[in-house]
Amino acid sequence: MRLKRRIEEVIVAQSAVHRCAAAVDFHAGGRPLLAPTINSPALHAHFEDVATEMVGAGGVRGAMEPCMGSEDFAAFSEAVPGSHFYFVGIRNEAAGSVHVAHSPHFLVDEGALPYGAAMHASLAMTYLQRQRGRVDSHEEL
């Protein structure tokens, strides 16, 4: 609620600076129009396990706070739990990769790309291997 009040306050004040009027309508109806992206705790723990095994504990940072960075993924995650936010190769001072992803100065550390590909493959393979014993087996498949 504090965020909604602050958004409205800033928009109304900025429009007044330009001698305009503004109104804010969140179309809430008791539910936010767009939910924040919140990683599934279980899937994020899976990511942390796999990532730590790949790059060591020092190469993995903790969980992110809920964010509005990908509202389309948030909508999918309401139906099917997911873990969307992890970043590979976006911070390497030696390579000059120090700016956030949407900065015009963003520079990906291309040396990290093989790690990103391996991470995606390992996440899927490890998840499927762990699930193998939890569901009825279909030997014919």
Per-domain residue ranges of the chain: 1-32, 34-134
| Distant-in-sequence, close-in-space partners of 74: CB < 8 Å, separation ≥ 6 | 34, 35, 36, 37, 38, 68
Res 140 pLDDT > 90: no
pLDDT digits (tens, 9 = 90+) for 121-137: 999 999 999 888 665 55
The identity of residue 110, as a single letter, is E
CA-to-CA distance for 113 and 54, rounded, in angstroms? Answer: 14
- In this structure, the number of other CB atoms found within 10 A of the CB of residue 133 comes to 7
Q: Does residue 97 sit in helix, strand or coil?
A: strand
Say how many residues make up the chain.
Answer: 141
32 residue type, one letter? P
Residues 6+ apart with CB under 8 A from 99: 105, 106, 107
Q: Report the top-level CATH class of 34-134.
A: alpha beta
- 3-state SS class at 39: coil
Token pair for 23: 């109104």
Cβ(15)–Cβ(22) below 8 Å? yes
pTM of the model: 0.63
Which pLDDT tens digit goes with each residue over 80-131? 888 766 667 678 899 888 888 788 998 888 888 898 899 999 999 999 998 8
Q: Rounded to whole angstroms, how far apart are CA atoms 134 and 131?
A: 5
Instruction: Tell me the C-alpha distance between 90 and 106, whole Å.
Output: 8
Q: Which residue has the tokens 């924040």?
A: 36
